[in-house]
């Protein structure tokens, strides 16, 4: 079997040709060993993601559920995205906000953003994710700091998913009230990355890859990573995600880590997924990462349909979005349109929470308070 260790340097994550050799070398014995082990290494993760592992899926689900229950109990954290702006200077082939798409763009004023946040707060959300396209000249540090200061008293956790920033900027945002940062690599396959990122700063693969480390080094409480499923081989994305996760754990053990699994959804521009990733494949990926890293938070957003999300409760994911709108101003003005992508689960927070309760789990709206913070 090809031998791969956690890289010393984040830039030395092996390329997809090497990772494919790792998966190709896996046998059923490797899968059994990974399923029975309490500490799964990157070879075990490759085995769990291999084609031979597909027939083990029910056992994966049971093992993943057992680990999730032991580490997180019978809980699902709840959050909602708040879209601040649809302006973007990048051209990502798969995104409705790409600079060359002819859509009506909006950026929320401070008061408009606060009004959107108030709606989410009244609906019972305590954790919000502030999302925007990457247009630093319109939405930069000053904007983010002011929004954080306005919202920090109302929300226990405020995450951001905006343009990658420098370490000192993340430290400033943390001081202003931002508690976590999500920055997805989109794909760890450098060739595909170059194909789908057509212009803009996002074309710099290495700068993006290093961003979660800058977030953690700045002292942020949590960092989220992920791959956009549908761009490249999902099994290899899974191994690369595992390597990135393990590297972050080794170097920034004080930072909480999460992984998201966004699957490509229909968006402006009519981009078609380059590879098909169905629900069985997504399930295998989620179970494999849970078995590989018992402590990682796993997010399943409203990109997925209600039926699938309900079925996954208790099996691995630990955080669900609910009642989501992906257009700036969309909570105050649902008639406006201009979404980044179409959502698959249209239930309200109340409906999502009651379905979680019906399965015997507790929806958690608040799991953190700033008074816990030790400076």
* Distance between CA atoms of residues 68 and 305, nearest Å: 22
Report the residue number, 90 or 179, with the smaller CB distance to ligand SF4: 90
CB of 104 to ligand SF4, least distance (A): 15
- List binders of ligand SF4 among 101-130 (CB under 6 A): none
Residues 342, 265 contacting (CB under 8 angstroms): yes
Report the residue number, 122 or 272, with the smaller CB distance to ligand SF4: 272
> What is the residue whose two structure tokens read 């079925």?
311
Report the residue number, 72 or 97, with the smaller CB distance to ligand SF4: 97
- Please pick, from the candidates 98, 209, 246, 322, the single residue that binds ligand SF4 as defined by CB under 6 A: 98
Residues 169, 181 contacting (CB under 8 angstroms): no
CB 344: neighbour CB atoms within 10 A?
A: 17
Report the residue number, 49 or 98, with the smaller CB distance to ligand SF4: 98
Piece of the chain touching ligand SF4 by CB under 6 A; list 41-49, 89-97, 114-122, 357-365: 89-97
**Per-residue DSSP letter, 373:** -
Report the residue number, 115 or 203, with the smaller CB distance to ligand SF4: 203
When asked if residue 185 is in the footprint of ligand SF4 (CB under 6 A), the reply is: no
When asked if residue 133 is in the footprint of ligand SF4 (CB under 6 A), the reply is: yes
Piece of the chain touching ligand SF4 by CB under 6 A; list 86-94, 114-122, 164-172, 361-369: 86-94
Q: Which two tokens stand for residue 103?
A: 């859509």
CB of 89 to ligand SF4, least distance (A): 8
Report the residue number, 134 or 345, with the smaller CB distance to ligand SF4: 134
Q: Which two tokens stand for residue 207?
A: 């700068």
| CA terminus-to-terminus distance, the chain | 45
Where on the phi/psi map is residue 269: left (φ > 0), alpha (ψ -120 to 50), or beta?
left
Piece of the chain touching ligand SF4 by CB under 6 A; list 68-76, 85-93, 167-175, 280-288: 85-93
Q: Identify each DSSP E strand in the chain by its residue range.
A: 75-85, 91-92, 127-132, 157-161, 180-182, 197-199, 222-226, 256-260, 297-300, 319-321, 362-364
Give phi and psi for 3, each to the nearest 5. -105, 125
3-class DSSP state of 25:
coil
Q: Identify each DSSP E strand in 114-189 by its residue range.
A: 127-132, 157-161, 180-182
Piece of the chain touching ligand SF4 by CB under 6 A; list 73-81, 95-103, 175-183, 249-257: 95-103
When asked if residue 88 is in the footprint of ligand SF4 (CB under 6 A), the reply is: yes
When asked if residue 90 is in the footprint of ligand SF4 (CB under 6 A), the reply is: yes
Report the residue number, 126 or 260, with the smaller CB distance to ligand SF4: 260
- Please pick, from the candidates 35, 46, 49, 95, the single residue that binds ligand SF4 as defined by CB under 6 A: 95
Piece of the chain touching ligand SF4 by CB under 6 A; list 28-36, 90-98, 218-226, 272-280: 90-98
Query: Could you tell me which of 274, 279, 275, 244 has the C-alpha nearest to residue 258?
Result: 244
- Please pick, from the candidates 63, 106, 127, 202, the single residue that binds ligand SF4 as defined by CB under 6 A: 202
* Distance between CA atoms of residues 260 and 298, nearest Å: 6
Q: Which two tokens stand for residue 29?
A: 């014995």
Residues 120, 82 contacting (CB under 8 angstroms): yes
Report the residue number, 265 or 291, with the smaller CB distance to ligand SF4: 265
- List binders of ligand SF4 among 304-363 (CB under 6 A): none
CB of 88 to ligand SF4, least distance (A): 3
**Contact residues: ligand SF4, CB under 6 A:** 88, 90, 92, 95, 97-98, 133-134, 202
């Amino acid at each position: 079997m090809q031998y791969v260790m956690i890289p010393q340097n984040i830039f030395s994550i092996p390329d997809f040709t090497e990772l494919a050799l790792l998966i190709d070398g896996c046998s059923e014995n490797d899968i059994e060993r990974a399923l029975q082990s309490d500490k799964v290494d990157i070879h075990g993760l490759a085995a769990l993601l291999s084609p031979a592992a597909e027939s083990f899926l029910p056992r994966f689900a049971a093992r993943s559920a057992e680990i999730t229950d032991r580490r997180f109990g019978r809980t699902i954290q709840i959050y909602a995205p708040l879209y601040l702006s649809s302006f973007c200077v990048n051209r990502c082939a798969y995104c409705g906000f790409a600079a060359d798409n002819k859509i009506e763009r909006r950026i929320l004023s401070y008061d408009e953003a606060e009004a959107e946040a108030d709606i989410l707060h009244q609906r019972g959300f305590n954790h919000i994710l502030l999302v925007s396209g990457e247009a630093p000249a319109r939405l930069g540090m000053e904007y983010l700091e002011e929004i954080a200061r306005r919202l920090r008293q109302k929300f226990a956790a405020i995450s951001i998913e905006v343009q990658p920033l420098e370490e000192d900027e993340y430290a400033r945002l943390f001081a202003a009230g931002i508690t976590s940062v999500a920055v997805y690599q989109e794909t760890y396959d450098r060739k595909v990355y170059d194909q789908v990122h057509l212009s803009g700063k996002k074309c710099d693969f290495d700068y993006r890859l290093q961003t979660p480390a800058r977030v953690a080094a700045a002292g942020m409480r949590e960092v989220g990573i992920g791959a956009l499923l549908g761009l490249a081989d999902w099994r290899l994305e899974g191994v690369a995600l595992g390597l990135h996760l393990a590297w972050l754990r080794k170097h920034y053990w004080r930072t909480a880590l999460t992984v998201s699994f966004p699957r490509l959804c229909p968006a402006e521009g009519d981009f078609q997924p380059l590879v098909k990733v169905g629900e069985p494949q997504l399930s295998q990926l989620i179970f494999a990462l849970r078995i590989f890293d018992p402590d990682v938070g796993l997010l399943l957003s409203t990109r997925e349909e209600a039926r699938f999300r309900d079925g996954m409760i208790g099996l691995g994911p630990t955080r669900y979005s609910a009642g989501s709108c992906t257009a700036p101003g969309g909570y105050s003005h649902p008639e406006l349109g201009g979404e980044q992508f179409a959502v698959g689960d249209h239930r309200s927070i109340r409906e999502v929470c009651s379905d979680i309760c019906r399965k015997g789990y507790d929806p958690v709206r608040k799991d953190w308070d700033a008074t816990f913070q030790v400076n």
